[in-house]
Amino acid sequence: MDRAEDVRKIRRDHATPVCPIDRGEDGTWRIRGYEAARAVLRSTETVQAGLGIETVEKLPARIRRPVLYRDGPQHREHRRQTARYFTPRRVDEHYRGLADRVARRHLDTLRSEGEAWLEDLTFGVSIDVACEVIGLTHSRPGIQRRLERFFPEKFGRPGLTSWHGIYWLLRQNSQWLRIYLADVRPAVRAHREQPADNLISHLIAEGCSRAEILGECLTYAAAGMVTTREFISVAAWHLFTDEALRERYLAGSESERLAVVHELLRLEPAVARLKRRTTGAVEIPGADGPVTVPGDALVEIFVDEANTDPDAMGDDPTTACPGRSATTGRYAAALSFGDGPHRCPGGDIALMETNVFLGHLFALDGIRMLTPPRVTFQDEIGGYVLRGLRVAVDRR
Ligand code: HEM
């Protein structure tokens, strides 16, 4: 039987064949099956162990950890208290209009100049929307450039034992300081005087220090801006190169368009590696019955593979089939937003802004791709970075 084409743009090297659950040479448990991955992420016997946690562990104990790196009752309480910024109603009433204005503004620049780098447009949109959620609303000009320098395409490893390490140490510290002075400090001052309904005001009311607010803002920037930027870019790349999918998208209702966006996010997870450490034995479903992962084990989840597990996604899991009948319930993007206590709170925002931006982009007269992007990877989160996708339109 012919195997259906694998339409994914992002190709990660995998040793083949692979088991749904196995152990690496260093003892790490590797999970590739959808059900097993979801069981680990939903378990209360696990804590965060990825996404640069080593850096956060070095912080003095008195500094409160950003949400991504907390676990247990304190984490649950923070999520409960901040859930109101992310409800579907809030997305509709507060962020949709904003996303619409922001997308039009960035695309106006494209229309007047005739050409642009897609990564600039998608970063602009995701920064403006996430800043509103966070409350980074009093920044000095140049936030996009500052964040671009804070999250470069390639990271070096900071340290004191080589010129390379010293360069990255100084560079990173100066980027923290720039963002603090130009974005976070003015926002904290303004919200101390006049609290608003956003994350920074909430953190101030909680008694967080400026360092803690800075850490939280940068976590949201990484979690909310960088991921959304890359995902919108890859979704646009698919629509530029797949005529049938593009036509289906353009002709679709809002919910049909969202189904396309979900399906593309399932196929191209912007965060493809999640890690957890078990705090007790965790039972997970394996091919031949339950498997027990012991306590204090490191578990790595291969989101891209779990998301294309045929047992959960049905036939031809690497093709784009919006609205496919899968066993993922209401999570049509499978594990691309994670699952369990750390499941992404910003999922609805990200899907809405992606849809708004793509809708406007592909409605432009003469919209076309001039050059495809080059793809690099951020190993720690298995993320992709797309740069160099040049778009053009008929000029006004
Ligand atoms: C396509 C875009 C996005 C993707 C693919 C994405 C993906 C993820 C994933 C996989 C996690 C879970 C990490 C883990 O379990 O270790 C996560 C957490 C998080 N995301 Fe998103 N995200 C996106 C957009 C956003 C947006 C727009 C926001 C906010 C404005 C946001 C805020 C967060 C926060 C605060 C967390 C930490 C939650 C916690 O640890 O409890 N994300 N995201």
In tens, the pLDDT along 81-113 reads 999 999 999 999 999 999 999 999 999 999 999
Q: For all residues of the chain together, what is the average pLDDT?
A: 90
Mean pLDDT lowest among 127-136, 192-201, 211-220: 211-220
Position with higher pLDDT, 254 vs 159: 254
Going by C-beta distance under 8 Å and a sequence separation of 6 or more, which residues neighbour residue 215?
56, 59, 63, 65, 66
C-alpha of residue 227 to centroid of ligand 1, in Å: 8
Cβ–ligand 1 contact at 20 (below 6 Å): no
What's the pLDDT band for 14 if we cut at 50, 70, 90?
low
Q: Ligand 1, from 42, 44, 344, 348: best to mutate by most atoms within 8 Å of Cβ? A: 344
Between the CA atoms of 59, 63, 66 and 71, what dihedral angle is there, to the nearest 10 degrees?
A: 90
Choose among 90, 95, 151: nearest CA to 123.
151
Q: Which ligand 1 atom sits nearest the alpha carbon of residue 68? A: 40
Cβ atoms of residues 69 and 75 within 8 Å: no
What's the pLDDT band for 154 if we cut at 50, 70, 90?
low
Q: Can you list the positions of beta strands (E) in 12-51?
A: 21-23, 29-31, 46-48
Instruction: Please determine, for residue 16, whether its predicted confidence score (pLDDT) is greater than 60.
Output: no
Cβ atoms of residues 358 and 235 within 8 Å: yes
What's the pLDDT band for 162 if we cut at 50, 70, 90?
low
Position with higher pLDDT, 159 vs 382: 382
Strand partners, 302: 273
In tens, the pLDDT along 370-396 reads 999 999 998 778 899 999 999 999 876
In tens, the pLDDT along 21-69 reads 889 889 999 999 999 999 999 999 999 997 667 677 777 777 888 888 8
Instruction: Please determine, for residue 159, whether its predicted confidence score (pLDDT) is greater than 60.
Output: no
- Is-cis flag, bond preceding 17, omega within 30? yes
Q: Where are the alpha helices (DSSP H) in 194-302?
A: 199-205, 210-220, 227-241, 243-251, 254-267
Phi, psi dihedrals of residue 354, rounded to the nearest 5°: -60, -45
Tokens representing 204?
């101030």
The pLDDT of residue 12 is 83
Instruction: Please determine, for residue 331, whether its predicted confidence score (pLDDT) is greater than 60.
Output: yes
Cβ atoms of residues 350 and 227 within 8 Å: yes
pLDDT exceeding 70 applies to what percent of the chain?
92
Q: Ligand 1, from 227, 268, 353: best to mutate by most atoms within 8 Å of Cβ? A: 227
Cβ–ligand 1 contact at 218 (below 6 Å): no
In tens, the pLDDT along 269-323 reads 999 999 999 999 999 999 889 999 999 999 999 999 999 999 999 989 999 999 9
Choose among 5, 11, 7: nearest CA to 384.
11
Per-position DSSP letters for 186-216, written without gaps between them:
HHHHHHHHS--SSHHHHHHHTT--HHHHHHH
Q: Can you list the positions of beta strands (E) in the chain?
A: 21-23, 29-31, 46-48, 115-117, 273-278, 282-286, 289-293, 298-302, 368-371, 374-378, 383-387, 390-392
- Helices 227-241 & 243-251 angle (0-180, nearest 10): 110
| Rounded Cα distance, 153 and 93, in Å | 34
Render the burial of 271-283: b for 16+ CB within 10 Å, e for the rest: bbbbbbbbbeebe
Instruction: Please determine, for residue 153, whether its predicted confidence score (pLDDT) is greater than 70.
Output: no
C-alpha of residue 69 to centroid of ligand 1, in Å: 12
